Structure 1
Amino acid sequence: KNWLNLQYHTDDTIKKPDELENEMQEPPGLIDEKLLDQISGSLIGMAIGDALGAHVEFRPHEYLFANPVKDLEGGGTWGLKKGQFTDDTSMALCLAISLIVRRGFVPYDQLVRYKWWLESGYMSSTGRCFDIGAATSQSLHEFMRRQTIFAKKHHIPIEKLDYLSDHDHLRMFQVHCSTSGVAGNGALMRLAPVPLFFHNYPKDAIEFSGYSG
């Protein structure tokens, strides 16, 4: 699934989610069309809802009361184009892709993809990370610091550091990079992929949803 990792154009600009459509591959075997429709609806609905409110993000209540959101629009704090989504959907896509690629809940891989988003604009609607919360930024920079230390300690080449698959390495790496007691609403807004992925296993869905937050 190379198209799910970092992909660049010939001019070294990152490929945005909408530019990866031609590289997508159909999953092998039979597809439960009803289930696929439900999952697609959840994720697409999340992205549309995010894009719908993007142009009024951080606006005061008085502004929203005078200018109720009625349709997709561009502009706002980040000068987004009509239909472009924010960091919440970008991080949700990172989480969803990690679950698919690793076929399970692997926090290290999730953090790697969040790092790609921060540094390279991976899964961003604009091709760059144009907004990030303070707590998320702090956690990701702490993750990168730990990666550097871990690579030196275990003699792991830097170019292989983002693709760890050794179970012992994954078990040893301390993935809890956030400050205790710090949590924003962004964790809830990007959570949808977890219950969707574990829809057949409600207990796992609940456990990993709490862990992801």
Structure 2
Amino acid sequence: MIQQQILNFLRAAVVADALGVPVEMRQRGTFQLTEMTGQGTWKQPRGSWSDDTSMTLCLLQNLVAGGSYDDLLDKFEAYVMYGDWTSRGVTFGVGRTCANAVRNHAINQLPALECGDAAEFANGNGALMRIAPLAVVLQHETDFQRRVQITRNYTALTHGHPRSVLGSLIFLEVLHELLLDQSVASALKSVHNRIVREIPDDAAVTAEFKAYQRLFLPNFGQLPVAEIKSSSYVVDTLEAALWVALNSDDLKTAILTAVNLGGDTDTIATVTASLIVAKNKLATIPDEWWSQTLNHALLDRVMIPFAEKFAD
């Protein structure tokens, strides 16, 4: 990806996050979003973005600086505890599993890769929401096993269960294929075949494959919206975002479709936006939406160096 494409990839996710924030946790069918709004669920002004973007910014700066996993958790702590990396100095809506990981690192002094909760009930989407930039970093990494290990490590910082690891892997591998100009349907087929063929010895991960089986059905994209769940459960979030990506080419349409699914609107829209820009590198963010997002000074200070470092 060239520098501007990377910036579009990152900025689209911010816009999607900000669009979803005011209606997060609202039930599908009780609203119909068509533009950037404010207040709502978190009583934040229009254009505010959430933990999805804040924790992604932490990742971006850590990658640019070549920081360790412990360094990244230090950045997460600064976000959660002190409001760093936020749109207006206010932390809101941090998921329980992410907060527990920060506590494990800051207070319990656990090593970074042991901070993520490995319990089955801790399979939220808090790793999925921040991990997309790794697809840019790994776009030329041809060693699948190395991509698997890096994905596992960055996920386990907050989410240690194999189901979350597999969710991150599917997402990043689909992005990997989209950046190679495959369609979403072809990418899913390639990822399915690769995972089945190349990680059969990882029993903990492959045992979770059944949780994601529906993604790989030939007719998954044709399922009616009533069969698409939009909760913060990692499987639901990934399914919802990929379902939208299978049915939308236009970025604006896709983001609005994702938000209007209800539930965990900001994260589903964020993941969706990353998929759409990866599959359509000419996708453009509506100028009005981008201009309405807050704290461009911080966003540019973190995103531009990342784009410069990892552009082709």
Select which of 53, 57, 60 maps to 1:93. 57
The size of the alignment, in residue pairs, is 151
Question: As a proportion of its length, which structure holds more helix?
Answer: 2
1:105-156 CA-partner distances (Å, limit 9, x unpaired): x211111100000111111112121221111111111111233xx8xxxxxx
Contact 1:114 1:140 in 2 (8 A): yes
TM-score, length of structure 2 as denominator length: 0.45
Q: Using a 3 Å threshold, how does the CA distance of structure 1 residues 40 and 205 change in structure 2: closer, same or farther?
A: farther
Q: Does 1:36 align with 2:31?
A: no
1:16-47 CA-partner distances (Å, limit 9, x unpaired): xxxxxxxxxxxxxxxxxx61111101110000
Contact 1:55 1:75 in 2 (8 A): yes
Q: Does 1:130 align with 2:92?
A: yes
Q: State the alpha-carbon separation in 1 of the partners of residues 153 and 138 from structure 2.
A: 14
Match of 2:116 in 1: 178
User: 1:25-104 counterparts in 2 under 5 A?
Assistant: 35-63=2-30, 67-102=31-66
1:27-74 CA-partner distances (Å, limit 9, x unpaired): xxxxxxx611111011100000111111100111231xxx21211111
What are structure 1's unaligned runs of at least 5 residues? 1-33, 151-172
Percent of residue pairs identical: 28
Query: Alpha carbon RMSD of aligned pairs, Å?
Result: 1.9
Q: State the alpha-carbon separation in 2 of the partners of residues 122 and 100 from structure 1.
A: 18
What are structure 2's unaligned runs of at least 5 residues? 156-312
CA deviation after TM superposition for structure 1 residue 198, in Å? 2.2
Contact 2:19 2:35 in 1 (8 A): yes
Q: Using a 3 Å threshold, how does the CA distance of structure 1 residues 137 and 174 change in structure 2: closer, same or farther?
A: closer
Q: State the alpha-carbon separation in 1 of the partners of residues 80 and 132 from structure 2.
A: 20
CA deviation after TM superposition for structure 1 residue 76, in Å? 1.3
Contact 2:73 2:112 in 1 (8 A): no
Q: Does 1:117 align with 2:79?
A: yes
Q: State the alpha-carbon separation in 2 of the partners of residues 178 and 187 from structure 1.
A: 10
Runs of 4+ with >6 A deviation: none
Q: State the alpha-carbon separation in 2 of the partners of residues 48 and 101 from structure 1.
A: 25
Contact 1:72 1:82 in 2 (8 A): yes
Q: Does 1:207 align with 2:171?
A: no
Relative contact order higher in (CA < 8 Å, ≥ 6 apart): 2
Match of 1:145 in 2: 107
**SS class of match (1:140):** helix
**SS class of match (2:84):** coil
Q: State the alpha-carbon separation in 2 of the partners of residues 210 and 56 from structure 1.
A: 31
Q: Using a 3 Å threshold, how does the CA distance of structure 1 residues 183 and 107 change in structure 2: closer, same or farther?
A: farther
